[in-house]
Structure 1
């Protein structure tokens, strides 16, 4: 995807006292535009191309359900002037629809660097891993595993996150083979329980919950990691608009990242 990890603008190391992160966030918001009516066929790269002449782009994030006709996006520029210039792109047709371009009310939530792949081995694991959202609360780990193994291939690791305060749950599924992960992406929109699941590539390998050393519990054991999820996924946490639109666990909404 178009995400960019960490970076000097992250400013979450506390330099300059408690006000610094807030100031950095305000600065990011002024450099960011919010784009809605993004055609479902449009990629982050295609969208970024439209805005190249506005100014240097720091990050481009397309959000929303890939199966719905319309999605939305955020583009963060290097400076405020570029973000202002980007507003003139309002009405430009990309795919089948004109884009609506507005000043953003939120910054793009950075992917927490500690969750990103730290080694070649973890990058390879990511290629075999998918992130699933909008999972019906009535299904359990056994159901999720059976669903993906039947349709895609053998699962090597599975984490099911979210609790009963949330409308739906999320999961990270690592397969034995990368081809299975590719097949899983085609399952987006399929019904699991009574809800259509959303499946996207995972930016992170499956990590054990620090409170439960094992990822894969034996049959009959309690499900690990039920409370506040300690694993976060950047593609889902791209600002308040998405949180409102997705009604999903706050899988990347900042507070979850505070491990």
Structure 2
């Protein structure tokens, strides 16, 4: 009996229009749109930006819990020339009463976290808006972002200008600082994060002293006698629980601030009974919360600095140790640590970390050494990321495409788990090459598909992809 010929299933239908002309660079056609009014939706953004050229997608970023707008969005054009025209024509124009701040989209967070080439400008005349400020500074170089701070639509008389290079920022600072503009002397300086600022303020005067780490056997009379050595004490209170037991802290109130200050300086860290005292100025709850907030900002600021100067290095040969890794990177700056990660058996895992003393040195190493050979193997280098950050980037990567090609209803349809039953399908035309400083990491999807699913490294941005659903009854 002759074998029956079974025709293969028809090719699945593509879910997006064909890509633009060859040579198109996707990451150069994406814009960041900030300072939006909370009432602005994707509809208004499409209406405004579609007049500049055909759009790939418009994504308004929202709070994951409340769904409220975060007041910024990303607009992706098919053609870089249209994106450039939108930036030139629409930057600082008003949408629903608020001027939009538009800039090229940058996935690399290094400039944002380190404040590179960012200037702080104050003592501006109230008539100076963001567009006027950009006109003043643009002669010194390419401006990434320019903004005059406002409150209720009125200028707060200061702003920020970020260039694409430190040389441009330095030139603008030297040329414009202490110059007159509309009758006012400009103050221009390098931008410093809030957590790094040292505010010069007068020393706070106080009479109430907070005392901690009190022993259970200490009484108010013992504490009064001890603190009376430094001045006249008004009241002494030891805080107690509902059973009348000491909670280990209390307050001592002096008659004069000088006496309270002397007591703090002399008794903080001193032994009273069997414990070492903590003695300091008593603070209100709101002040303590503000102090804790400031300390948290300092920690986050230091974490940001450390991350911005720490590099992840992959594809290491098994023979490369810590010393060889450090030697290879030493030409780019001062290295604080170089570590090759190893299994419990001592064998190399094929990757490691190199931490520089400054973020500029780390960026230099990333630019110059990525793809270079070390013991015959080409190195892959990227900014080091925490596991949580990598997972967040991956979630955002796929969420963007779901929103782009299936619409907001796909993720907000009430289903606790969206339908992810689709696979990447190669476009019949060659995919345009993306000029990215980092290679694309892929994993095989499916058993015999031979199809690779891309993962997005930190500074890789692809503005469209081709997804198809699995054809009904088609067995893989």
TM bracket (short chain): 0.3 to 0.5
The structure where strand makes up a greater share of residues is 2
Highest relative contact order (Cα 8 Å, sep 6+), 1 or 2? Answer: 1
Between structure 1 and structure 2, the one with the greater Rg is 2
